[in-house]
């Protein structure tokens, strides 16, 4: 009879034993066995062969690809959480398959072959699936978590050097879930952004932060301002200004006590929209803070990884280098960074003598632009540069 044998190992099972004790390990094996038997294809034989190893004999004429497809559907229940002390635990598996037609004719030979073939002939559970599964589960819990009061805010103080006291705080969301445990905002905020829950969540955060700020104000506390992080979809949505004015009204809080933190990356990616939004928020009297500033500057580290040699500074930085203190400071900073990474610096779009003098002083290695030359045909350049030197 055509037969396929599949051997499945629970990965890192020793970890469960070490972390939770043997009794929990055994309970997990029992739970796994029940699901394994329940999920086995019809007419197959399911067995535990040792420790964390299980085998399945399937009467089949399928090839290993077809078996893989069949089993990854059949074994979906194994991809749900298991429980240890009521805590959800994800398990991953490795599986090997042997076919009677290719690897032998009796069960024991097949079993040996599976072992020799090694693991992962069948991938029943891959990491990306696990990630998606986790995301889906977190997303499904969001609304009830909000209703059940599982979210709360912590406030990180900001010390004002001039005043010598903490005069503002940043509100940071926390989630203590009875199902998922403590989940970091770095994990769940991106999921909330993806599935749209961020709107409800931000509304709750703003309300909570403003209510708390009002309380501090009534206590005559030194904290004068609360900063709330605003995610990209919320920041770019039409709903934000209205939402904020409602919340400020409801909490009887003046706008000057509220600050919004927006990341540099979001502003850079939607610069024109950001200008308009920020202007309208500023008009209301709300402060704006550029969070995680330097992300774009630090992306210069990627240039280093790319093994490039030269950094060409864009004309937009050069245009005002001789007239604007800020532009000059920016160019100086970029040149310093480039030097740190041992990159040489070329500035493009140099049109004026004053620009060139400054750029030379700042340590720029090469200068390009109309001041030096238009683009020319090669013969003209050959003739010109045989005689003339620039940059002296």
Q: Where along the sequence are the contacts to ligand C2E (CB under 6 A)?
A: 156, 171-173, 184-186, 189, 205, 229-231, 261, 291-292
Which of residues 277 and 318 has its CB atom nearest to ligand C2E in the complex? 277
CA-CA distances (angstroms) from residue 222 to 80, 197, 217, 289? 49, 33, 8, 20
Q: Which two tokens stand for residue 170?
A: 């940043």
The string over 269-278, giving b where at least 16 C-beta atoms fall within 10 Å of a residue's C-beta and e elsewhere, is eeeeebeebb
Which of residues 238 and 309 has its CB atom nearest to ligand C2E in the complex? 238
Please report how close the Cβ of residue 128 comes to ligand C2E at its closest, in angstroms.
Answer: 23
Please report how close the Cβ of residue 187 comes to ligand C2E at its closest, in angstroms.
Answer: 9
Residue 291 as a binder of Mg ion (CB under 5 A): the answer is yes
If DSSP codes are grouped into helix, strand and coil, which group holds residue 86?
coil
Name which of ligand C2E, Mg ion, none residue 87 binds, using a CB cut-off of 5 to 8 Å depending on partner kind: none
Q: Which stretch binds Mg ion (CB under 5 A): 4-12, 181-189, 247-255, 285-293?
A: 285-293
Query: Which residues 234-273 are close enough to bind Mg ion by CB under 5 A?
Result: 261
Q: Which two tokens stand for residue 343?
A: 């990159």
Which of residues 185 and 207 has its CB atom nearest to ligand C2E in the complex? 185
Among 102, 250, 292, 376, contact with Mg ion (rule: CB under 5 A): 292
Cα angle 221, 222, 228 (rounded to 5 degrees) comes to 95
If DSSP codes are grouped into helix, strand and coil, which group holds residue 287?
strand
Which of residues 213 and 331 has its CB atom nearest to ligand C2E in the complex? 213
Please report how close the Cβ of residue 188 comes to ligand C2E at its closest, in angstroms.
Answer: 9
Name which of Mg ion, ligand C2E, none residue 184 binds, using a CB cut-off of 5 to 8 Å depending on partner kind: ligand C2E
Question: How many other C-beta atoms lie within 10 A of the C-beta of residue 36?
Answer: 22
Contacts of 168 (CB under 8 A, 6+ apart): 157, 158, 160, 223, 224, 225, 226, 227, 259
Distance of alpha carbon 110 from alpha carbon 113, whole angstroms: 5
Site string for Mg ion, 202-231 (x = CB under 5 A): ---------------------------x--
Distance of alpha carbon 147 from alpha carbon 155, whole angstroms: 21
DSSP state of 213: H
Please report how close the Cβ of residue 198 comes to ligand C2E at its closest, in angstroms.
Answer: 7
Please report how close the Cβ of residue 229 comes to ligand C2E at its closest, in angstroms.
Answer: 4
- 103 near 118, Cβ under 8 Å? no
Which of residues 79 and 237 has its CB atom nearest to ligand C2E in the complex? 237
Which of residues 64 and 229 has its CB atom nearest to Mg ion in the complex? 229
Binding site for Mg ion (CB under 5 A): 229, 261, 291-292
């Amino acid at each position: 009879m055509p037969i396929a044998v599949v051997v499945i190992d629970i990965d890192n099972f020793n970890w469960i034993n070490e972390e939770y004790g043997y009794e929990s390990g055994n309970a997990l094996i029992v739970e796994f066995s029940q699901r394994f038997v329940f999920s086995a294809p019809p007419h197959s034989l399911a067995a535990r062969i040792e420790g964390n190893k299980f085998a399945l004999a399937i009467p089949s004429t399928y090839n290993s690809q077809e078996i893989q497809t069949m089993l990854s559907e059949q074994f979906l229940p194994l991809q749900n959480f298991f429980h240890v002390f009521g805590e959800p635990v994800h398990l991953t598996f490795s599986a090997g398959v042997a076919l009677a037609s290719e690897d032998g004719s009796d069960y024991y030979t097949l079993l040996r072959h599976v072992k020799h073939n090694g693991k992962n002939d069948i991938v029943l559970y891959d990491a990306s699936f696990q990630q998606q599964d986790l995301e889906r589960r977190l997303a499904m819990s969001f609304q009830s978590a909000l209703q059940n009061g599982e979210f709360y805010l912590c406030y990180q103080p900001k010390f004002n050097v001039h005043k010598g006291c903490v005069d503002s705080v940043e509100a940071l969301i926390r989630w203590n879930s009875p199902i998922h445990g403590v989940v970091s905002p770095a994990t769940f905020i991106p999921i909330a952004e993806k599935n749209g829950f961020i709107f409800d969540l931000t509304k709750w955060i703003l309300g909570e932060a403003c209510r708390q700020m009002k309380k501090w104000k009534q206590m005559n506390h030194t904290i004068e301002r609360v900063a709330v992080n605003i995610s990209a979809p919320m920041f770019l949505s039409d709903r934000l200004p209205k939402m904020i004015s409602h919340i400020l009204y409801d909490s009887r809080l003046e706008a000057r006590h509220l600050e919004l933190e927006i990341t540099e990356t979001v502003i850079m990616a939607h610069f024109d929209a950001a200008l308009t939004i920020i202007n309208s928020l500023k008009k209301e009297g709300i402060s704006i803070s550029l969070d995680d500033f330097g992300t774009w500057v630090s992306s210069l580290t990627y240039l280093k990884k790319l093994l490039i040699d030269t950094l060409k500074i864009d004309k937009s930085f050069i245009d005002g280098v001789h007239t604007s203190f800020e532009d000059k400071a920016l160019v100086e900073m970029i040149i310093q960074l480039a030097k740190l990474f041992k990159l040489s610096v070329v500035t493009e779009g140099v049109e004026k003598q004053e620009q060139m003098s400054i750029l030379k002083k700042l340590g720029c290695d090469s200068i390009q632009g109309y001041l030096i030359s238009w683009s020319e045909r090669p013969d003209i350049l050959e003739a010109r540069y045989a005689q003339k030197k620039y940059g002296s």
